[in-house]
Structure 1
């Protein structure tokens, strides 16, 4: 099938005013908050470690203008006062949690379930989660390598491999199979997919404007962060829904993920 951009956007929007999407939105907010906390915690921990290395090496104070150590730094109001190792573990755990939520979200949005989660949403969950993490890492490295040569190759790789994680999550494929089939799935549709992703990117940018404006006018960091997390959750969920419906469009006629909607509704 060919990609219909307007239909993918409309279908993605149609999947949001549901009970399932509301549950996913709350989960996105929670994970977004954890992401903010762990990122700030890791940033402060790394800075404290670098300051310690600098002081030990030169027996001199840190460079002027450096952020004060600890979670009370002005740029990191949510940072936890933990060691660098603990901060790294928390950050990695948040990545795994976010990917797990991504598995549930994609499996839900590629299915026809609206009032309930799919029956098989937990199918081979651990195996799929690991492969999705590896696939995401491989794709990001490929995009980075492409971007090193020029921005255009990086964009091309990002578009061509956009559905790799969808292949892993929706069809339980290995990383190698997902890379091959995800590349093939976008063949002949990459220009249309690029324009769709431009729209999705614009939606994400628009969602970031309010928090930027709040920061510009001097709103408290906690308020700015809360608005950023909530709007980021909304735009992230919408982006996944649109991507999932575009993915279904490109699959063969009659394709459907395994399983039926769960009888347990919310």
Structure 2
């Protein structure tokens, strides 16, 4: 049974605009605004689909479409400490979001999603993210195709770490198994999500051309937060669909019964 790309995207959107999704949009929006304010120099905002993933995990904003962020001009040392703190918070929120979107909760975020095995999951996401990024980068050095294959095959390792309490090695192994037989459809899903990211980036970036930088920045970051949550929700719904197919009872053929 093939992956229902339209169903996954639709379910991801529905979870994004539900109460829990809107709460996560607000949290990521606040994080992105603080990152802009704490930047030592005016910086362009980035999309926020996956704060801890490797390359290729999420789209970059369209060049020239995103207004520059205001900056408080803090010292480099203080900026680094605050950025580190925001990075840690982003990891925690990402873990909580994945756990929430994989579950059926839409109206209330269980506190346990931000507490259970948090240190273990966070450390594995950081270390695994570095290894994942290096692996994909090496794959892209070999004429791109191996990089895309590895990206699709290992894509769900973070979900296994955040949701299933596995280490990153187990996450890589289980993601490889989970995506077997579905990689071409998953690649197609990735193209659809990338197109959506482009449209969101352009749509929320256009006002920055006509408005003052501060207003343009606020609007652009809202688009970043929206797409970031949509991305996580879509990843979670894809994972749910794949695991459901994996757990379906296998029907024996007539040949196998004889």
Q: Would you call these one fold, judging by a TM-score over 0.5? A: yes
CA positional deviation for 1:215:
3.9
Quick one: structure 1 residues 5 and 179, their matched pair in 2 at CA, closer, same or farther if it must change by over 3 Å?
same
Q: Is structure 2 residue 187 aligned with structure 1 residue 194?
A: yes
Task: Give the 3-state SS of the residue equivalent to 1:238 in structure 2.
Answer: helix
- C-alpha distance in structure 1 between counterparts of 2:41 and 2:165, whole Å: 33
- C-alpha distance in structure 2 between counterparts of 1:88 and 1:246, whole Å: 35
- C-alpha distance in structure 2 between counterparts of 1:181 and 1:138, whole Å: 16
Q: Mean alpha-carbon deviation: is it higher for 1-10 or for 97-106? A: 1-10
For 2:239, the equivalent position in structure 1 comes to 247
For 1:100, the equivalent position in structure 2 comes to 92
- C-alpha distance in structure 1 between counterparts of 2:91 and 2:41, whole Å: 19
CA positional deviation for 1:13:
2.0
- Give the TM-score, by structure 1 length: 0.75
Cα deviation 1:1-57 (Å, max 9, x = unaligned):
64221121122122233222221121121122123334x32778xxxxxxxxxxxxx
- C-alpha distance in structure 2 between counterparts of 1:19 and 1:252, whole Å: 25
Q: Is structure 2 residue 179 aligned with structure 1 residue 182?
A: no
For 1:80, the equivalent position in structure 2 comes to 72
Quick one: structure 1 residues 154 and 42, their matched pair in 2 at CA, closer, same or farther if it must change by over 3 Å?
farther
Q: For the aligned residues, what is the CA RMSD?
A: 2.3
For 2:15, the equivalent position in structure 1 comes to 15
CA positional deviation for 1:207:
1.1
For 2:40, the equivalent position in structure 1 comes to 41
Q: Mean alpha-carbon deviation: is it higher for 94-103 or for 82-91? A: 82-91
- C-alpha distance in structure 2 between counterparts of 1:42 and 1:174, whole Å: 37
* Correspondence 1:146-185 to 2 at 5 A: 146-185=139-178
Q: Which runs of structure 1 show a deviation greater than 4 angstroms over 4 or more consecutive aligned residues?
A: 252-255
Quick one: structure 1 residues 77 and 182, their matched pair in 2 at CA, closer, same or farther if it must change by over 3 Å?
closer
Of structures 1 and 2, the larger Rg is shown by: 1
Of 90, 94, 111, the residue aligned with 2:82 is 90
- Give the TM-score, by structure 2 length: 0.77
- C-alpha distance in structure 1 between counterparts of 2:15 and 2:200, whole Å: 19
- C-alpha distance in structure 2 between counterparts of 1:119 and 1:33, whole Å: 24
Task: Give the 3-state SS of the residue equivalent to 1:230 in structure 2.
Answer: helix
Q: Is structure 2 residue 2 aligned with structure 1 residue 6?
A: no
- C-alpha distance in structure 2 between counterparts of 1:254 and 1:150, whole Å: 32
